[in-house]
Amino acid sequence: MRKRALVMSSAFIATAAIAGPAVAGYVIGGDRSTYGTITIAVEGPLTGQQASNGQDMLRGVRLAVQQYNAKGGFHGRKVQIVQANDKANPKLARSVANKVIQGPAVAVVGPYNSSVGLVNLPLYTRARVVPVQMTSTDDTTGLGVTVQPKNSQISPVEFSYISKAYTPSKVSMLVDPSAYTKSMADRLQRSLEGKGVLVTQIPISETQTDFTPQINQALTNNPTVVYLSTYFPQGAAIAKQLLATGNPAKCFAGLANQDPAFVTQAGIPASRNCTFSGVPDPTQFPTAKNYVKAYKKAFPGKTPGTWGTFTYDSANILFAAWKRAADPFNYGKVLAQLKKTTNFAGATGKITINRQGNRPNVPVSILSVNAQGNFTVVTTDRSNK
């Protein structure tokens, strides 16, 4: 067995069950199975521009852990969480993963950002820490398992809707160059160009706040659609500035823009000016009623966000795999059982995981924002149900 040493930092904090205090710096060594508790990590953008996503992800896992521990945990052994904050920054991916690997975690829920996962998911799998990951790039297929949509599942839904709803002749794309957003733009561009649509990609920077030059460039050739392949902080700013131009081009925002913070930052009028690819809001999943109720009770004043529902399911399919494997510390057995997940009753609906570690029955939708500022389902890809 490898020996591990872990010194806690601001990017890596241990928490007990649902609301326990941070644990002071300490050193861990020896076999993971020798400790009284079972540890899982939650990795994501817990601070920074995408913190609303990361914190919701963390709360989803915390709720699942609270409920699991209340039922006795794994044969009386309780689960604790360690937080791994990558700030959505691939430059931090390796150091954050190494801290998890050096510690007692047997599994990690996350990371969320594809650019981060491309760096550190191979590290987790080599170190035999089971990833139940949240990345959507198809390039991370096979690196653990995921319950959320992959690029190849999202892109056809976007292409179908844009083609039928807008019948575009020209599409301008404002594109964050990170792994997920760039690959989504490239996929859609290939599909549209195959139908004779003129597509122009314009790169943007995640550090920008004023996108006026790029928006003006995007509108130069009078496009039918302006496609935002961005994360929500950039997308919200672009949507607000795009509305201010008064241009009639349709705004379509990719899935990484779906977050309540998009509406908060862009405002309801600018948000309503866009259509989105995404997943149903937690309140729109018929299977998530108990989750929403428990979430609000566990976290007073907090509204369930988009991805906490998926991390809640991620933790629960992990716990179910532990039971079937009869050993949460056996990487090979747990991963094999995760890939045998079939029709698991999750908050996001029935969950099946295939041999590649992906979920074939993902709930991909087209969304709009209503007058109250909530995401609502316009159409759903029934083939994924």
Residue 7 domain flag: no
Looking at the structure, tell me whether residues 177 and 241 fall in a common domain.
Answer: yes
Residue 67 domain flag: yes
Q: How far apart are CA 23 and CA 362, in angstroms?
A: 37
Tokens 């007990």 map to which residue? 16
Looking at the structure, tell me whether residues 199 and 182 fall in a common domain.
Answer: yes
Residue 170 domain flag: yes
Looking at the structure, tell me whether residues 290 and 235 fall in a common domain.
Answer: no
Count of C-beta atoms within a 10 Å radius of residue 343: 10
Side-chain-side CA neighbours of 149 within 13 Å: the count stands at 26
> What CATH number is attached to the domain comprising 217?
3.40.50.2300
Which residues are registered as beta bridge partners of 108? 41, 131
- The H-or-E segment that residue 152 falls in is helix 151-166
Q: How far apart are CA 302 and CA 299, in angstroms?
A: 6
Contact (CB, 8 A) for 339 and 70: no
Domain with 268, as residue range(s), is 151-278+365-384
Q: How far apart are CA 160 and CA 280, in angstroms?
A: 18
Residue 360 domain flag: no
Looking at the structure, tell me whether residues 116 and 17 fall in a common domain.
Answer: yes
SS3 of 21, please?
Answer: coil
Residue 197 domain flag: yes
Looking at the structure, tell me whether residues 72 and 167 fall in a common domain.
Answer: no
Residue 1 domain flag: no
Q: What is the pLDDT of residue 379?
A: 76
pTM: 0.86
Q: What is the DSSP string of 179-221?
A: HHHHHHHHHHHHHHHHTT-EEEEEE--TT-S--HHHHHHHHTT
Residue 238 domain flag: yes
CA 352 to chain centre: 18
pLDDT in tens, the chain (385 residues): 333 333 334 344 444 333 333 332 223 334 666 668 999 999 999 999 899 999 999 999 999 999 999 999 999 999 999 999 999 999 999 999 999 999 999 999 999 999 999 999 999 999 999 999 999 999 999 999 999 999 999 999 999 999 999 999 999 999 999 999 999 999 999 999 999 999 999 999 878 889 999 999 999 999 999 999 999 999 999 999 999 999 999 999 999 999 889 999 999 999 999 999 999 989 999 999 999 999 999 999 999 999 999 999 999 999 999 999 999 999 999 999 999 999 999 999 999 999 999 999 899 999 999 999 999 999 765 434 3
CA distances from 295 to 66, 160, 283 (A): 11, 34, 11
Q: What is the pLDDT of residue 200?
A: 98
Q: How far apart are CA 57 and CA 62, in angstroms?
A: 9
Looking at the structure, tell me whether residues 199 and 186 fall in a common domain.
Answer: yes
Looking at residue 229, its amino acid is S
Q: What is the pLDDT of residue 224?
A: 98
Each residue's pLDDT tens digit, 173-225: 999 999 999 999 999 999 999 999 999 999 998 788 899 999 999 999 999 99
Looking at the structure, tell me whether residues 20 and 135 fall in a common domain.
Answer: yes
Q: What is the pLDDT of residue 32?
A: 67
- Per DSSP, 145 falls in state B
Count of C-beta atoms within a 10 Å radius of residue 26: 11
What is the number of structural domains in the chain? Answer: 2
Looking at the structure, tell me whether residues 241 and 229 fall in a common domain.
Answer: yes
Looking at the structure, tell me whether residues 52 and 119 fall in a common domain.
Answer: yes
The residue count for the chain: 385
Residue 359 domain flag: no
Looking at the structure, tell me whether residues 34 and 116 fall in a common domain.
Answer: yes
The percent of residues in the chain predicted with pLDDT above 70, rounded, is: 89
Looking at the structure, tell me whether residues 45 and 126 fall in a common domain.
Answer: yes
Looking at the structure, tell me whether residues 218 and 324 fall in a common domain.
Answer: no
